[in-house]
Amino acid sequence: MIFRAEDQNQLQLVEREDIDDEEDLFEAIDKLIAQGINAGDIKKLQDAGIYTCNGLMMHTKKHLTGIKGLSEAKVDKICEAAEKIVNFGYITGSDALLRRKSVIRITTGSQALDELLGGGIETLAITEAFGEFRSGKTQLAHTLCVSTQLPTNMRGGNGKVAYVDTEGTFRPDRIIPIAERFGMDPGAVLDNIIYARAYTYEHQYNLLLGLAAKMSEEPFRLLIVDSVIALFRVDFTGRGELAERQQKLAQMLSRLIKIAEEFNVAVYMTNQVIADPGGGVFISDPKKPAGGHVLAHAATIRLMFRKGKGEQRICKVFDAPNLPEAEAISFFPPLLFLLFTLVGWFNFSMKNKESCITIS
């Protein structure tokens, strides 16, 4: 269940079937039965984590033939049937523009940061946040867990959240005051967050595979991975394993962008930084994001977080296809952030139907 606003001061839970625009997001894999595909073969696809025709078309035939019980002939027949249901060919620029209208921007809780991002964190895209420890990355993740559940007319995502934690930093008790300051029921908010702690890079990837079943049945709008690189830095050591690490990381990132586009969800992933020995003496803070070019090319929007003067936290658009390079000073350590969120929500109520929280 998710939240919907009945008036400016009341939020109410509604069932998925009451939401009309969910039906057009993807085509369920069950529709292949009408195209002559055996129900047993569809069950095999579902067991492999494929629940939609859109997702099916995102896999190579080599991968599909690797599924137990699916021969090359069966895979060819299944793919031909899926092509009749979903169009994965060329479209016009005008059609592409229409598709972009399905993008939902989820508020970050900060007016300055929302303006920097053109409205908030985008669905159909991967937003990467990198920076040192205590620079605000995980705090933003916790805030997005709540704001994603706001109705779209309040700049929310009107959906649930999946949280994959690789560093043990998720704190449900932190969600409670944030939900209260957004005027939401903390218990309902926590129920709308599914959480998993990953301990190896393989476990992390398997958790992502398992999301397809949940997202095909319930309205999710956000996937958080905090952090995406941590387990790879642990499970692969030395230059001798670097090539394999980057290959496995690329597969992980490919899975993330497929989830984003298949189910119209926003992917927010945090990333660590590494010291850059080649930074030179003229660069005051020679640090760069971990993951190399593989991660850099996979992320749609890259945000750099750093500490400012005193309690300030600064976010800079490091790379984005449609956003100018700019900075926003709007982040605070956890306790102060909650205080300013409270002030922002009070301002929100006073301004009747204004749809963002001002904390900067």
Using CA atoms, how far apart are residues 242 and 254, in angstroms rounded to an integer? 18
Confidence at residue 186, expressed as pLDDT on a 0 to 100 scale: 94
Whether the pLDDT of residue 1 is over 60: the answer is: no
Within 10 angstroms of residue 279's Cβ, the number of other Cβ atoms is: 13
Q: What average pLDDT does the segment 128-140 reach?
A: 89
Is it true that domain 103-339 has CATH number 3.40.50.300? yes
Residue 308 banded pLDDT, cuts 50, 70, 90: confident
Confidence at residue 19, expressed as pLDDT on a 0 to 100 scale: 44
Confidence at residue 322, expressed as pLDDT on a 0 to 100 scale: 86
Q: What average pLDDT does the segment 281-305 reach?
A: 83
Q: Sketch the domain layout of the chain as residue ranges.
A: 30-85, 103-339
Lowest mean pLDDT among 18-27, 234-243, 282-291, 322-331: 18-27
Whether the pLDDT of residue 22 is over 70: the answer is: no
- pLDDT per residue over 254-266, tens digit each? 999 999 999 999 9
Burial of 328 (C-beta count, 10 Å sphere; 0-12/13-18/19+): buried
* Torsion of the alpha carbons at 171, 121, 161 and 6, rounded to the nearest 10: 110
Q: How many helices (H) and strands (E) does the chain have?
A: 14, 14
Confidence at residue 162, expressed as pLDDT on a 0 to 100 scale: 97
- Give the chain's mean pLDDT: 83
Whether the pLDDT of residue 282 is over 60: the answer is: no
DSSP code at position 312: -
Query: For a pLDDT cut of 90, what percent of the chain falls above it?
Result: 58
Whether the pLDDT of residue 279 is over 60: the answer is: no
Using CA atoms, how far apart are residues 142 and 163, in angstroms rounded to an integer? 10
Confidence at residue 348, expressed as pLDDT on a 0 to 100 scale: 39
The CATH fold assigned to 30-85 is DNA polymerase; domain 1 (1.10.150)
Confidence at residue 213, expressed as pLDDT on a 0 to 100 scale: 87
Confidence at residue 88, expressed as pLDDT on a 0 to 100 scale: 84
Asked if residue 169 lies in contact with residue 201, where contact means CB atoms within 8 angstroms, the answer is no
- pLDDT per residue over 114-131, tens digit each? 999 999 999 999 999 998
The number of C-alpha atoms within 13 Å of 71 and in the hemisphere containing its C-beta is: 2
Contacts of 123 (CB under 8 A, 6+ apart): 102, 103, 104, 105, 106, 157, 221, 260, 264, 265, 266
Within 10 angstroms of residue 56's Cβ, the number of other Cβ atoms is: 26
Structure tokens at 8: 């400016």
- pLDDT per residue over 147-162, tens digit each? 999 999 899 999 999 9
* 3: enclosing H helix or E strand: strand 2-7
- pLDDT per residue over 199-247, tens digit each? 999 999 999 988 988 998 899 999 999 999 999 999 998 899 999 999 9
Contacts of 228 (CB under 8 A, 6+ apart): 128, 166, 252, 253, 256, 269, 270, 271, 291, 295
- pLDDT per residue over 47-83, tens digit each? 888 999 999 999 999 999 999 999 999 999 999 999 9
Higher pLDDT, 193 or 11: 193
Confidence at residue 133, expressed as pLDDT on a 0 to 100 scale: 85
Q: Which residues of 230-239 are buried (b: 16+ CB within 10 A; e: fewer)?
A: bbbeebbeee
Closest CA to 166 of 256, 224, 210, 228: 228
Closest CA to 216 of 60, 55, 15, 81: 55
* 125: enclosing H helix or E strand: strand 125-131
Q: What average pLDDT does the segment 287-297 reach?
A: 91
